[in-house]
Chains A and B, each alone.
Chain A
Amino acid sequence: MIRAYYEIAKSQVKLDFAYGAWFWSSMVSSILQMLVLFYFWRAVYANGPSELHGYKLDDMITYMVVASMIGGYTNGAGGKLAEDIRGGLVAIELMRPYDQLSKLVALDLGGKFGYFLRNTVPILVLAFLFFHINLPPSWGAAAMFPLSTALGVLIGAQFDLLVGIMAFYTVNIWGLRVLRDAVLLFFTGQLVPVMLFPEWLQSVNRFLPFQSMVYVPVSIYTGALRGAEAWVQVGIQAAWLLGVFLLVRWTWSRAMRKVTIFGG
Protein backbone atom coordinates (compact mmCIF):
# COMPACT_ATOMS: atom_id res chain seq x y z
CA MET A 1 0.00 0.00 0.00
CA ILE A 2 2.96 2.33 0.62
CA ARG A 3 3.74 1.83 -3.04
CA ALA A 4 0.30 3.14 -3.96
CA TYR A 5 0.81 6.33 -1.94
CA TYR A 6 4.22 6.73 -3.52
CA GLU A 7 2.69 6.43 -6.99
CA ILE A 8 0.02 8.95 -6.06
CA ALA A 9 2.71 11.40 -4.97
CA LYS A 10 4.60 10.76 -8.18
CA SER A 11 1.52 11.48 -10.27
CA GLN A 12 1.29 14.89 -8.63
CA VAL A 13 4.93 15.61 -9.47
CA LYS A 14 4.31 14.71 -13.10
CA LEU A 15 1.23 16.85 -13.16
CA ASP A 16 3.13 19.87 -11.85
CA PHE A 17 5.79 19.46 -14.48
CA ALA A 18 3.16 19.17 -17.18
CA TYR A 19 2.22 22.80 -16.71
CA GLY A 20 5.44 24.28 -18.04
CA ALA A 21 4.48 27.94 -18.10
CA TRP A 22 3.26 27.79 -14.55
CA PHE A 23 6.46 26.09 -13.45
CA TRP A 24 8.67 28.88 -14.77
CA SER A 25 6.47 31.75 -13.71
CA SER A 26 6.30 30.35 -10.20
CA MET A 27 10.08 30.11 -10.16
CA VAL A 28 10.52 33.67 -11.35
CA SER A 29 8.03 35.01 -8.85
CA SER A 30 9.78 33.35 -5.92
CA ILE A 31 13.11 34.81 -7.06
CA LEU A 32 11.58 38.28 -7.32
CA GLN A 33 10.07 37.91 -3.89
CA MET A 34 13.51 37.13 -2.48
CA LEU A 35 15.04 40.16 -4.15
CA VAL A 36 12.35 42.43 -2.74
CA LEU A 37 12.97 41.01 0.73
CA PHE A 38 16.69 41.48 0.41
CA TYR A 39 16.57 45.10 -0.71
CA PHE A 40 13.83 45.98 1.74
CA TRP A 41 15.83 44.89 4.77
CA ARG A 42 19.00 46.49 3.38
CA ALA A 43 17.11 49.76 3.13
CA VAL A 44 15.77 49.39 6.68
CA TYR A 45 19.24 48.87 8.11
CA ALA A 46 20.87 51.54 5.91
CA ASN A 47 18.64 54.21 7.40
CA GLY A 48 18.34 52.93 10.93
CA PRO A 49 20.18 51.16 13.68
CA SER A 50 22.83 48.61 12.92
CA GLU A 51 21.07 46.12 15.16
CA LEU A 52 17.40 45.17 15.78
CA HIS A 53 16.93 43.10 18.94
CA GLY A 54 20.35 41.62 18.36
CA TYR A 55 19.77 40.96 14.66
CA LYS A 56 22.47 42.55 12.50
CA LEU A 57 21.78 43.00 8.79
CA ASP A 58 23.27 39.66 7.75
CA ASP A 59 21.41 37.90 10.62
CA MET A 60 18.17 39.46 9.49
CA ILE A 61 18.71 38.57 5.83
CA THR A 62 19.58 35.03 6.84
CA TYR A 63 16.47 34.78 8.99
CA MET A 64 14.16 36.21 6.35
CA VAL A 65 15.49 34.11 3.50
CA VAL A 66 15.34 30.84 5.41
CA ALA A 67 11.95 31.76 6.87
CA SER A 68 10.41 32.47 3.47
CA MET A 69 11.94 29.31 2.12
CA ILE A 70 10.25 27.22 4.81
CA GLY A 71 7.14 29.41 4.84
CA GLY A 72 6.32 28.24 1.32
CA TYR A 73 5.67 24.78 2.73
CA THR A 74 3.19 25.69 5.44
CA ASN A 75 0.21 24.93 3.25
CA GLY A 76 -1.18 21.51 2.45
CA ALA A 77 -3.95 19.53 0.82
CA GLY A 78 -6.72 21.38 2.67
CA GLY A 79 -7.79 23.30 -0.41
CA LYS A 80 -8.15 20.10 -2.41
CA LEU A 81 -10.00 18.46 0.45
CA ALA A 82 -12.46 21.35 0.71
CA GLU A 83 -13.04 21.10 -3.02
CA ASP A 84 -13.67 17.36 -2.76
CA ILE A 85 -16.10 17.93 0.08
CA ARG A 86 -18.10 20.52 -1.79
CA GLY A 87 -18.11 18.48 -4.98
CA GLY A 88 -19.28 15.35 -3.16
CA LEU A 89 -16.19 13.43 -4.20
CA VAL A 90 -15.38 12.61 -0.60
CA ALA A 91 -18.32 10.21 -0.44
CA ILE A 92 -17.37 8.51 -3.68
CA GLU A 93 -13.81 8.16 -2.47
CA LEU A 94 -15.09 6.02 0.39
CA MET A 95 -15.15 3.30 -2.23
CA ARG A 96 -11.41 3.34 -2.67
CA PRO A 97 -9.26 0.87 -0.79
CA TYR A 98 -6.97 3.63 0.48
CA ASP A 99 -7.08 6.02 3.37
CA GLN A 100 -8.33 9.32 2.00
CA LEU A 101 -6.32 11.51 4.34
CA SER A 102 -3.11 9.64 3.61
CA LYS A 103 -3.83 9.95 -0.07
CA LEU A 104 -4.20 13.71 0.31
CA VAL A 105 -0.95 13.90 2.23
CA ALA A 106 0.74 11.89 -0.54
CA LEU A 107 -0.58 14.31 -3.16
CA ASP A 108 0.65 17.18 -1.05
CA LEU A 109 4.12 15.70 -0.63
CA GLY A 110 4.31 15.20 -4.37
CA GLY A 111 3.37 18.83 -4.82
CA LYS A 112 6.03 19.84 -2.34
CA PHE A 113 8.70 17.98 -4.23
CA GLY A 114 7.85 20.05 -7.30
CA TYR A 115 7.85 23.15 -5.14
CA PHE A 116 11.30 22.27 -3.87
CA LEU A 117 12.76 22.17 -7.37
CA ARG A 118 10.93 25.20 -8.62
CA ASN A 119 11.19 27.54 -5.64
CA THR A 120 13.58 26.29 -3.01
CA VAL A 121 16.49 25.40 -5.26
CA PRO A 122 16.64 28.82 -6.95
CA ILE A 123 16.28 30.53 -3.58
CA LEU A 124 19.17 28.48 -2.20
CA VAL A 125 21.34 29.43 -5.14
CA LEU A 126 20.42 33.07 -4.76
CA ALA A 127 20.91 32.98 -0.99
CA PHE A 128 24.37 31.50 -0.95
CA LEU A 129 25.85 32.96 -4.13
CA PHE A 130 24.42 36.49 -4.05
CA PHE A 131 23.06 37.29 -0.62
CA HIS A 132 25.85 35.42 1.14
CA ILE A 133 23.61 34.36 4.00
CA ASN A 134 25.20 32.95 7.13
CA LEU A 135 25.80 29.25 7.53
CA PRO A 136 24.48 27.41 10.58
CA PRO A 137 26.81 28.00 13.55
CA SER A 138 27.61 24.30 14.06
CA TRP A 139 27.34 20.87 12.47
CA GLY A 140 24.82 20.01 15.16
CA ALA A 141 22.57 22.89 14.12
CA ALA A 142 23.02 21.97 10.46
CA ALA A 143 21.88 18.43 11.20
CA MET A 144 18.98 19.42 13.42
CA PHE A 145 17.63 21.97 10.97
CA PRO A 146 16.25 19.49 8.40
CA LEU A 147 14.63 17.46 11.17
CA SER A 148 12.96 20.50 12.65
CA THR A 149 11.95 21.73 9.20
CA ALA A 150 10.35 18.38 8.36
CA LEU A 151 8.34 18.49 11.59
CA GLY A 152 7.29 22.07 10.88
CA VAL A 153 6.19 21.24 7.33
CA LEU A 154 4.18 18.24 8.52
CA ILE A 155 2.46 20.32 11.19
CA GLY A 156 1.56 22.85 8.49
CA ALA A 157 0.17 20.11 6.24
CA GLN A 158 -2.00 18.65 9.01
CA PHE A 159 -3.18 22.07 10.09
CA ASP A 160 -4.19 22.79 6.51
CA LEU A 161 -6.22 19.56 6.40
CA LEU A 162 -7.97 20.69 9.55
CA VAL A 163 -8.97 23.93 7.86
CA GLY A 164 -10.08 21.92 4.81
CA ILE A 165 -12.31 19.64 6.90
CA MET A 166 -14.18 22.73 8.05
CA ALA A 167 -15.78 22.71 4.59
CA PHE A 168 -18.11 20.07 6.06
CA TYR A 169 -19.46 22.63 8.45
CA THR A 170 -19.24 25.99 6.72
CA VAL A 171 -19.98 27.17 3.23
CA ASN A 172 -17.50 30.02 3.44
CA ILE A 173 -14.30 28.01 3.34
CA TRP A 174 -12.70 30.74 1.25
CA GLY A 175 -12.91 33.28 4.06
CA LEU A 176 -11.47 30.73 6.44
CA ARG A 177 -8.52 30.13 4.14
CA VAL A 178 -7.76 33.82 3.80
CA LEU A 179 -7.82 34.09 7.56
CA ARG A 180 -5.57 31.08 7.85
CA ASP A 181 -3.06 32.58 5.41
CA ALA A 182 -2.95 35.84 7.34
CA VAL A 183 -2.58 34.13 10.70
CA LEU A 184 0.15 31.85 9.40
CA LEU A 185 2.11 34.61 7.71
CA PHE A 186 2.28 36.54 10.92
CA PHE A 187 2.35 34.01 13.76
CA THR A 188 4.74 31.54 12.17
CA GLY A 189 7.37 34.27 12.06
CA GLN A 190 7.53 34.47 8.29
CA LEU A 191 6.84 38.19 8.08
CA VAL A 192 9.06 39.30 10.98
CA PRO A 193 11.02 37.25 13.49
CA VAL A 194 8.94 36.31 16.52
CA MET A 195 11.70 37.91 18.62
CA LEU A 196 10.54 41.31 17.37
CA PHE A 197 6.98 40.73 18.63
CA PRO A 198 5.96 42.57 21.80
CA GLU A 199 6.65 40.50 24.90
CA TRP A 200 3.02 39.58 25.59
CA LEU A 201 2.49 38.39 22.02
CA GLN A 202 5.57 36.23 22.23
CA SER A 203 4.15 34.61 25.36
CA VAL A 204 0.84 33.95 23.65
CA ASN A 205 2.60 32.52 20.64
CA ARG A 206 4.47 30.07 22.80
CA PHE A 207 1.16 28.28 23.40
CA LEU A 208 0.20 28.15 19.72
CA PRO A 209 1.38 25.68 17.09
CA PHE A 210 2.36 28.35 14.58
CA GLN A 211 5.90 29.14 15.64
CA SER A 212 6.66 25.43 15.37
CA MET A 213 6.07 25.67 11.65
CA VAL A 214 8.69 28.27 10.74
CA TYR A 215 10.22 30.16 13.62
CA VAL A 216 11.64 27.15 15.42
CA PRO A 217 13.47 25.58 12.44
CA VAL A 218 14.80 28.96 11.32
CA SER A 219 16.06 29.75 14.81
CA ILE A 220 17.83 26.42 14.90
CA TYR A 221 19.45 27.32 11.61
CA THR A 222 20.59 30.75 12.81
CA GLY A 223 21.70 29.44 16.16
CA ALA A 224 19.23 31.52 18.16
CA LEU A 225 17.98 28.20 19.50
CA ARG A 226 20.70 25.80 20.48
CA GLY A 227 21.62 22.93 22.76
CA ALA A 228 19.04 21.64 25.20
CA GLU A 229 16.70 24.50 24.42
CA ALA A 230 16.65 23.51 20.77
CA TRP A 231 15.85 19.90 21.65
CA VAL A 232 13.01 21.02 23.87
CA GLN A 233 11.55 22.98 20.95
CA VAL A 234 11.90 20.01 18.62
CA GLY A 235 10.10 17.94 21.23
CA ILE A 236 7.33 20.53 21.33
CA GLN A 237 7.13 20.36 17.55
CA ALA A 238 6.72 16.60 17.70
CA ALA A 239 4.00 17.00 20.31
CA TRP A 240 2.16 19.55 18.17
CA LEU A 241 2.41 17.29 15.16
CA LEU A 242 0.89 14.42 17.09
CA GLY A 243 -1.78 16.70 18.55
CA VAL A 244 -2.86 18.23 15.24
CA PHE A 245 -2.69 14.81 13.57
CA LEU A 246 -5.02 13.30 16.15
CA LEU A 247 -7.35 16.27 15.92
CA VAL A 248 -7.51 15.87 12.15
CA ARG A 249 -8.31 12.15 12.48
CA TRP A 250 -10.95 12.81 15.06
CA THR A 251 -12.76 15.57 13.14
CA TRP A 252 -12.45 13.47 10.00
CA SER A 253 -14.06 10.40 11.52
CA ARG A 254 -16.86 12.55 12.90
CA ALA A 255 -17.38 14.13 9.51
CA MET A 256 -17.37 10.71 7.85
CA ARG A 257 -20.00 9.49 10.25
CA LYS A 258 -22.09 12.45 9.22
CA VAL A 259 -21.51 11.76 5.54
CA THR A 260 -22.38 8.09 5.72
CA ILE A 261 -25.47 8.68 7.81
CA PHE A 262 -26.87 11.87 6.30
CA GLY A 263 -25.68 11.22 2.78
CA GLY A 264 -23.34 14.20 2.59
Chain B
Amino acid sequence: MIDVQNLSKQYQIAKRDPGLAGAVKSLFSRKYETKQAVQDISFQIQKGEMVGYIGANGAGKSTTIKMLSGILTPSSGVVRVNGIVPYENRRRNASQIGAVFGQRTQLFWDIPIRESYHLLKHIYQVPETEFQQRLEMFTDVLDLGPLLGIPVRQMSLGQKMRAELAAAFLHNPAVVFLDEPTIGLDVAVKDRIRAFIREMNRQQETTVILTTHDMQDIEEICNRIIIIDGGKILYDGALQAIKERFGDKRTIHFDLEKNDGFTIPYALATRVEQVVSHREAAGKSNSISLSFNNAEITAAEVISEMMQAYTIRDLTIDEVHIEQIVKDIYERGL
Protein backbone atom coordinates (compact mmCIF):
# COMPACT_ATOMS: atom_id res chain seq x y z
CA MET B 1 0.00 0.00 0.00
CA ILE B 2 2.74 2.42 0.96
CA ASP B 3 6.22 2.04 -0.35
CA VAL B 4 8.95 4.40 0.78
CA GLN B 5 12.47 4.04 -0.52
CA ASN B 6 15.55 6.01 0.50
CA LEU B 7 13.44 9.04 1.20
CA SER B 8 15.22 12.25 2.18
CA LYS B 9 14.17 15.83 2.70
CA GLN B 10 16.33 18.87 3.28
CA TYR B 11 14.86 22.23 4.07
CA GLN B 12 16.61 25.38 2.95
CA ILE B 13 16.49 27.96 5.66
CA ALA B 14 17.44 31.51 4.72
CA LYS B 15 20.09 32.58 7.17
CA ARG B 16 20.21 36.17 8.28
CA ASP B 17 22.56 38.11 10.48
CA PRO B 18 20.78 39.73 13.40
CA GLY B 19 19.71 43.36 13.46
CA LEU B 20 19.00 45.96 10.82
CA ALA B 21 22.34 45.49 9.14
CA GLY B 22 21.53 41.81 8.73
CA ALA B 23 18.15 42.63 7.22
CA VAL B 24 19.70 44.99 4.70
CA LYS B 25 22.45 42.53 3.87
CA SER B 26 19.94 39.78 3.25
CA LEU B 27 18.40 41.89 0.51
CA PHE B 28 21.55 41.55 -1.54
CA SER B 29 22.96 38.19 -0.68
CA ARG B 30 21.12 35.33 0.86
CA LYS B 31 22.88 32.55 2.64
CA TYR B 32 21.06 29.32 2.99
CA GLU B 33 21.47 26.75 5.64
CA THR B 34 20.30 23.23 4.92
CA LYS B 35 18.35 21.37 7.51
CA GLN B 36 18.19 17.63 7.06
CA ALA B 37 14.69 16.79 8.27
CA VAL B 38 14.42 13.25 6.92
CA GLN B 39 17.39 11.15 5.98
CA ASP B 40 17.33 8.09 3.79
CA ILE B 41 14.38 6.27 5.28
CA SER B 42 12.70 3.20 3.78
CA PHE B 43 9.68 1.19 4.82
CA GLN B 44 6.70 -0.71 3.42
CA ILE B 45 3.23 -0.68 4.87
CA GLN B 46 0.60 -3.25 3.89
CA LYS B 47 -3.08 -2.67 3.40
CA GLY B 48 -4.96 -2.50 6.68
CA GLU B 49 -1.91 -1.98 8.87
CA MET B 50 -2.05 0.60 11.62
CA VAL B 51 1.35 2.07 12.16
CA GLY B 52 2.49 4.43 14.88
CA TYR B 53 5.09 6.84 13.61
CA ILE B 54 6.81 8.22 16.64
CA GLY B 55 9.75 10.29 17.70
CA ALA B 56 10.64 13.41 19.65
CA ASN B 57 9.77 16.95 18.57
CA GLY B 58 11.53 17.81 15.35
CA ALA B 59 12.33 14.19 14.54
CA GLY B 60 10.85 14.47 11.05
CA LYS B 61 7.43 12.89 11.49
CA SER B 62 5.33 15.66 9.99
CA THR B 63 7.82 16.08 7.19
CA THR B 64 7.46 12.42 6.25
CA ILE B 65 3.67 12.57 6.39
CA LYS B 66 3.67 15.65 4.19
CA MET B 67 5.72 13.83 1.58
CA LEU B 68 3.37 10.84 1.73
CA SER B 69 0.36 13.06 1.25
CA GLY B 70 1.85 15.04 -1.62
CA ILE B 71 2.23 18.38 0.13
CA LEU B 72 6.01 18.25 0.03
CA THR B 73 8.32 17.12 -2.72
CA PRO B 74 11.16 14.90 -1.45
CA SER B 75 14.76 15.96 -2.00
CA SER B 76 15.50 12.41 -3.04
CA GLY B 77 14.02 8.94 -2.85
CA VAL B 78 10.73 7.50 -3.94
CA VAL B 79 7.28 7.32 -2.42
CA ARG B 80 4.36 5.30 -3.72
CA VAL B 81 0.95 5.28 -2.14
CA ASN B 82 -1.27 2.65 -3.71
CA GLY B 83 0.97 2.82 -6.77
CA ILE B 84 0.67 6.59 -7.12
CA VAL B 85 3.54 9.00 -6.62
CA PRO B 86 1.87 11.60 -4.39
CA TYR B 87 3.85 14.74 -5.24
CA GLU B 88 3.67 14.07 -8.98
CA ASN B 89 0.03 13.15 -9.10
CA ARG B 90 -1.41 15.25 -6.39
CA ARG B 91 -5.06 15.25 -7.28
CA ARG B 92 -5.28 11.55 -8.00
CA ASN B 93 -3.54 10.81 -4.75
CA ALA B 94 -5.84 13.23 -2.95
CA SER B 95 -8.95 11.23 -3.67
CA GLN B 96 -7.55 8.07 -2.08
CA ILE B 97 -6.10 9.57 1.07
CA GLY B 98 -7.52 11.30 4.09
CA ALA B 99 -5.66 13.31 6.67
CA VAL B 100 -5.97 15.06 9.97
CA PHE B 101 -3.35 17.56 11.00
CA GLY B 102 -3.81 18.14 14.70
CA GLN B 103 -3.01 21.81 14.65
CA ARG B 104 -4.94 22.74 11.54
CA THR B 105 -8.54 22.58 10.51
CA GLN B 106 -9.44 21.42 7.04
CA LEU B 107 -13.15 21.92 7.35
CA PHE B 108 -14.77 25.03 6.01
CA TRP B 109 -14.45 27.50 8.79
CA ASP B 110 -17.74 29.37 8.61
CA ILE B 111 -20.36 26.87 7.57
CA PRO B 112 -22.08 24.26 9.75
CA ILE B 113 -20.21 20.98 9.53
CA ARG B 114 -23.26 19.24 8.07
CA GLU B 115 -22.86 21.52 5.06
CA SER B 116 -19.13 20.92 5.05
CA TYR B 117 -19.72 17.17 4.82
CA HIS B 118 -22.26 17.72 2.09
CA LEU B 119 -19.65 19.69 0.14
CA LEU B 120 -17.01 17.03 0.72
CA LYS B 121 -19.45 14.49 -0.67
CA HIS B 122 -19.46 16.39 -3.96
CA ILE B 123 -15.77 17.15 -3.90
CA TYR B 124 -14.86 13.49 -3.43
CA GLN B 125 -17.80 12.28 -5.48
CA VAL B 126 -19.18 9.96 -2.84
CA PRO B 127 -22.47 8.28 -3.87
CA GLU B 128 -25.43 9.57 -1.88
CA THR B 129 -26.44 6.30 -0.19
CA GLU B 130 -22.88 5.55 0.87
CA PHE B 131 -22.58 9.07 2.17
CA GLN B 132 -25.73 8.81 4.25
CA GLN B 133 -24.70 5.47 5.70
CA ARG B 134 -21.26 6.65 6.62
CA LEU B 135 -22.41 9.92 8.10
CA GLU B 136 -24.89 8.06 10.25
CA MET B 137 -22.23 5.73 11.54
CA PHE B 138 -19.76 8.58 12.19
CA THR B 139 -22.40 10.61 13.97
CA ASP B 140 -23.01 7.64 16.18
CA VAL B 141 -19.44 6.61 17.02
CA LEU B 142 -18.06 10.15 17.31
CA ASP B 143 -21.17 11.58 18.92
CA LEU B 144 -21.48 14.30 16.30
CA GLY B 145 -25.25 14.69 16.58
CA PRO B 146 -25.28 17.92 18.57
CA LEU B 147 -22.48 19.40 16.45
CA LEU B 148 -23.83 19.00 12.94
CA GLY B 149 -25.44 22.42 12.86
CA ILE B 150 -22.42 24.32 14.18
CA PRO B 151 -19.55 25.81 12.17
CA VAL B 152 -15.99 24.83 13.12
CA ARG B 153 -15.37 28.42 14.14
CA GLN B 154 -17.58 27.91 17.19
CA MET B 155 -16.26 24.53 18.31
CA SER B 156 -14.03 23.50 21.17
CA LEU B 157 -10.83 21.65 20.36
CA GLY B 158 -12.31 18.25 21.15
CA GLN B 159 -15.42 18.90 19.09
CA LYS B 160 -13.35 20.17 16.21
CA MET B 161 -11.14 17.12 16.29
CA ARG B 162 -14.08 14.74 16.11
CA ALA B 163 -15.52 16.72 13.23
CA GLU B 164 -12.15 16.65 11.43
CA LEU B 165 -11.81 12.94 11.88
CA ALA B 166 -15.19 12.27 10.33
CA ALA B 167 -14.23 14.53 7.41
CA ALA B 168 -11.00 12.62 6.84
CA PHE B 169 -12.83 9.26 6.57
CA LEU B 170 -15.90 10.44 4.68
CA HIS B 171 -14.73 9.37 1.23
CA ASN B 172 -13.52 6.04 2.53
CA PRO B 173 -9.86 6.66 1.72
CA ALA B 174 -7.48 3.72 1.37
CA VAL B 175 -4.90 5.46 3.55
CA VAL B 176 -5.39 7.92 6.38
CA PHE B 177 -2.63 10.06 7.87
CA LEU B 178 -3.24 11.27 11.36
CA ASP B 179 -0.74 13.81 12.61
CA GLU B 180 -1.27 14.12 16.36
CA PRO B 181 -5.03 13.62 16.27
CA THR B 182 -5.39 13.54 20.05
CA ILE B 183 -3.25 16.53 20.93
CA GLY B 184 -4.76 18.56 23.75
CA LEU B 185 -7.86 16.39 24.20
CA ASP B 186 -9.39 15.01 27.37
CA VAL B 187 -9.48 11.30 28.10
CA ALA B 188 -13.10 10.76 27.09
CA VAL B 189 -12.63 12.34 23.67
CA LYS B 190 -9.37 10.47 23.15
CA ASP B 191 -11.22 7.24 23.84
CA ARG B 192 -13.91 8.01 21.30
CA ILE B 193 -11.37 8.92 18.69
CA ARG B 194 -9.37 5.75 19.23
CA ALA B 195 -12.50 3.62 19.10
CA PHE B 196 -13.48 5.31 15.86
CA ILE B 197 -10.13 4.70 14.21
CA ARG B 198 -10.16 1.05 15.20
CA GLU B 199 -13.70 0.66 13.94
CA MET B 200 -12.89 2.18 10.55
CA ASN B 201 -9.88 -0.05 10.21
CA ARG B 202 -11.92 -3.12 11.07
CA GLN B 203 -14.77 -2.31 8.69
CA GLN B 204 -12.91 -0.88 5.71
CA GLU B 205 -9.39 -2.18 6.16
CA THR B 206 -8.22 1.42 6.11
CA THR B 207 -4.46 1.77 6.37
CA VAL B 208 -3.62 4.19 9.15
CA ILE B 209 -0.42 6.05 9.88
CA LEU B 210 -0.47 7.87 13.15
CA THR B 211 1.97 10.25 14.74
CA THR B 212 1.54 11.03 18.39
CA HIS B 213 3.31 11.76 21.62
CA ASP B 214 0.74 9.77 23.56
CA MET B 215 1.80 6.19 24.36
CA GLN B 216 -1.79 5.25 25.03
CA ASP B 217 -2.74 6.12 21.42
CA ILE B 218 -0.09 3.76 20.18
CA GLU B 219 -1.00 0.95 22.53
CA GLU B 220 -4.67 1.09 21.71
CA ILE B 221 -4.44 1.59 17.98
CA CYS B 222 -1.20 0.37 16.48
CA ASN B 223 0.23 -3.05 15.91
CA ARG B 224 3.47 -1.78 14.52
CA ILE B 225 5.64 1.21 15.29
CA ILE B 226 8.31 3.07 13.44
CA ILE B 227 10.54 5.18 15.61
CA ILE B 228 12.32 8.05 13.99
CA ASP B 229 14.97 10.26 15.47
CA GLY B 230 17.01 12.98 13.84
CA GLY B 231 15.39 12.07 10.53
CA LYS B 232 16.52 8.43 10.65
CA ILE B 233 14.63 5.29 11.48
CA LEU B 234 15.70 3.84 14.82
CA TYR B 235 13.25 1.01 15.03
CA ASP B 236 10.64 -0.56 12.82
CA GLY B 237 8.71 -3.52 14.14
CA ALA B 238 6.12 -4.87 16.52
CA LEU B 239 5.04 -2.71 19.39
CA GLN B 240 5.23 -5.67 21.74
CA ALA B 241 8.99 -6.11 21.37
CA ILE B 242 9.64 -2.51 22.28
CA LYS B 243 7.34 -2.67 25.23
CA GLU B 244 8.97 -5.76 26.60
CA ARG B 245 12.31 -4.09 26.45
CA PHE B 246 11.48 -0.58 27.57
CA GLY B 247 7.83 -0.14 28.24
CA ASP B 248 7.89 -1.84 31.62
CA LYS B 249 10.15 0.72 33.11
CA ARG B 250 8.44 2.73 35.84
CA THR B 251 9.43 5.55 38.11
CA ILE B 252 7.75 6.41 41.40
CA HIS B 253 8.30 9.74 43.10
CA PHE B 254 8.01 9.68 46.89
CA ASP B 255 7.51 12.72 49.07
CA LEU B 256 9.03 11.83 52.45
CA GLU B 257 8.15 13.30 55.85
CA LYS B 258 11.83 13.91 56.49
CA ASN B 259 14.92 13.01 54.57
CA ASP B 260 18.03 12.49 56.64
CA GLY B 261 20.27 10.08 54.81
CA PHE B 262 17.96 8.09 52.56
CA THR B 263 19.01 4.62 51.59
CA ILE B 264 17.06 2.18 49.47
CA PRO B 265 15.34 -0.41 51.71
CA TYR B 266 17.25 -3.70 51.76
CA ALA B 267 14.44 -5.74 50.20
CA LEU B 268 14.48 -3.50 47.16
CA ALA B 269 18.17 -2.86 46.82
CA THR B 270 18.89 -5.18 43.91
CA ARG B 271 15.83 -4.45 41.85
CA VAL B 272 15.33 -0.72 42.27
CA GLU B 273 17.57 2.19 41.43
CA GLN B 274 17.40 5.73 42.70
CA VAL B 275 17.27 8.36 39.99
CA VAL B 276 17.50 12.12 40.10
CA SER B 277 14.35 13.59 38.67
CA HIS B 278 13.46 17.18 37.92
CA ARG B 279 11.71 17.48 41.27
CA GLU B 280 14.87 17.07 43.30
CA ALA B 281 16.60 19.45 40.99
CA ALA B 282 13.86 21.96 41.70
CA GLY B 283 14.90 21.91 45.35
CA LYS B 284 12.28 19.66 46.88
CA SER B 285 14.87 17.84 48.88
CA ASN B 286 12.38 15.56 50.59
CA SER B 287 11.61 13.92 47.27
CA ILE B 288 13.04 10.57 46.24
CA SER B 289 12.56 8.94 42.85
CA LEU B 290 12.92 5.22 42.36
CA SER B 291 13.08 3.52 39.03
CA PHE B 292 12.44 -0.17 38.41
CA ASN B 293 11.31 -2.69 35.86
CA ASN B 294 7.72 -3.70 36.22
CA ALA B 295 8.50 -7.22 35.10
CA GLU B 296 10.84 -7.76 38.06
CA ILE B 297 8.90 -6.05 40.77
CA THR B 298 5.46 -4.49 40.98
CA ALA B 299 4.74 -0.91 41.91
CA ALA B 300 2.67 -2.16 44.84
CA GLU B 301 5.66 -4.03 46.25
CA VAL B 302 7.93 -1.02 45.96
CA ILE B 303 5.40 1.22 47.65
CA SER B 304 4.73 -1.19 50.49
CA GLU B 305 8.46 -1.67 51.21
CA MET B 306 8.96 2.07 51.21
CA MET B 307 6.04 2.63 53.54
CA GLN B 308 7.46 0.22 56.03
CA ALA B 309 10.80 1.99 56.09
CA TYR B 310 9.76 5.65 55.83
CA THR B 311 6.85 7.97 56.54
CA ILE B 312 5.46 8.94 53.17
CA ARG B 313 3.37 12.03 52.61
CA ASP B 314 2.63 11.63 48.94
CA LEU B 315 3.63 9.68 45.87
CA THR B 316 3.16 9.74 42.11
CA ILE B 317 3.79 7.07 39.51
CA ASP B 318 5.21 8.22 36.17
CA GLU B 319 3.67 6.99 32.97
CA VAL B 320 5.95 5.60 30.32
CA HIS B 321 6.67 8.30 27.78
CA ILE B 322 7.58 7.61 24.22
CA GLU B 323 10.22 10.28 24.49
CA GLN B 324 11.84 8.27 27.29
CA ILE B 325 11.81 5.08 25.24
CA VAL B 326 13.25 6.85 22.25
CA LYS B 327 15.95 8.35 24.41
CA ASP B 328 16.77 4.97 25.90
CA ILE B 329 17.04 3.38 22.49
CA TYR B 330 19.15 6.24 21.31
CA GLU B 331 21.50 6.07 24.25
CA ARG B 332 21.75 2.36 24.81
CA GLY B 333 20.68 0.83 21.54
CA LEU B 334 18.13 -1.93 21.21
8 A Cβ contacts from B96-130 to A: 97, 99, 101, 104, 106, 108, 110-111, 115, 118-119, 122-125
A residues within 8 Å of B by Cβ?
A: 1, 3-4, 7-8, 11, 14-15, 88-89, 91-92, 94-99, 260-263
A14: chain B residues at CB < 8 Å are 111, 115
Q: Is B317 an interface residue (CB 8 A)?
A: no
> Interface size for chain B: under 10, 10 to 19, 20 to 34, or 35 or more residues?
20 to 34
Q: Is B87 an interface residue (CB 8 A)?
A: yes
Other A-B contacts than A14-B111, A95-B94, A263-B63, 13 sampled, CB-CB below 8 A, are A4-B123, A8-B123, A11-B119, A14-B115, A91-B66, A92-B101, A95-B70, A95-B106, A97-B94, A97-B124, A98-B91, A99-B91, A262-B12
Can you list 29 A-B pairs with a CB-CB distance of less than 8 A?
Answer: A4-B123, A7-B119, A7-B122, A7-B123, A8-B122, A11-B111, A11-B115, A11-B119, A14-B111, A88-B104, A94-B71, A94-B90, A94-B94, A95-B90, A95-B94, A95-B97, A95-B99, A96-B94, A96-B123, A97-B91, A97-B92, A97-B94, A97-B123, A98-B91, A99-B91, A260-B72, A260-B73, A261-B72, A262-B11
A1: chain B residues at CB < 8 Å are 125
Closest Cβ of chain A: how far from B66's Cβ, in Å? Answer: 7
B91: chain A residues at CB < 8 Å are 97-99
The main secondary structure of chain A at its interface with chain B is: helix
CA distance A113 to B97 in the complex (A): 33
Contact B101 A15 (CB under 8 A): no
Closest Cβ of chain A: how far from B106's Cβ, in Å? Answer: 6
CA distance A261 to B123 in the complex (A): 26
Contact A7 B111 (CB under 8 A): no
Which of B69, B73, B110, B118 is close to A95, meaning CB atoms less than 8 Å apart? B69
A92: chain B residues at CB < 8 Å are 71, 101, 104, 106
* Closest residue on chain B to residue A3 by CB atoms: B122
Q: Is B95 an interface residue (CB 8 A)?
A: yes
CA distance A89 to B105 in the complex (A): 9
A260: chain B residues at CB < 8 Å are 71-73, 87
* Closest residue on chain A to residue B91 by CB atoms: A97
* Closest residue on chain A to residue B92 by CB atoms: A97
Contact B111 A95 (CB under 8 A): no
Contact A94 B104 (CB under 8 A): no
